Amino acid sequence: MRVGFGKASELMLTGKTILAEEAAAIGLIDRVVEPEHLMDAAYEMAHAMGENPQASLRFTKQLLTENMSEASLKDVQRLELKLLNQAYTEPEHKEAIAAFLGKREPDFKSARAK
């Protein structure tokens, strides 16, 4: 849950409109940018995400989505282990290891193309 139950309840039950600064302060949004910088900020975030291994992004999104409401710690750990083992088989993992050992930046796009 992005905001606590109490704040979420207040906003939903009152229909109160809040300004961007308050939304950021309560954790409803991640950041505030001026309207003229919105697209630049969106492209910057998309670029940062796009530089990461796509399989890892997919696994992370799955973990965030599925484990958010999972009550069983064993089930959370089971899914994390399953996806971690899958990540180890991805070409990007091999590229990350090679880049680390070669003291260079990884090239995940080329690793995926191989």
CATH number of the domain enclosing 74 = 1.10.12
| pLDDT tens digits along 22-61 | 999 999 999 999 999 999 999 999 999 988 999 999 999 9
Spell 16-51 as b/e; 16+ CB within 10 A means b: eeeeeeebeebeeeeeeeeeeeeeeeeeeeeeeeee
The domain of 87 spans: 50-113
Tell me how far apart the alpha carbons of residues 28 and 105 are, in angstroms, rounded to a whole number. 34
Mean pLDDT score, 100-114: 86
Task: Confirm whether 42 is domain-assigned.
Answer: no
Task: Confirm whether 77 is domain-assigned.
Answer: yes
Tell me how far apart the alpha carbons of residues 50 and 109 are, in angstroms, rounded to a whole number. 9
| pLDDT tens digits along 71-92 | 999 999 999 999 999 999 999 9
Q: Give the count of domains, the chain.
A: 2
In a shared domain, residues 104 and 76: yes
Check residue 112 and give its pLDDT: 73
pTM: 0.70
Task: Confirm whether 37 is domain-assigned.
Answer: no
In a shared domain, residues 25 and 57: no
CA trace torsion 93, 98, 104, 109 (10° rounding): -40
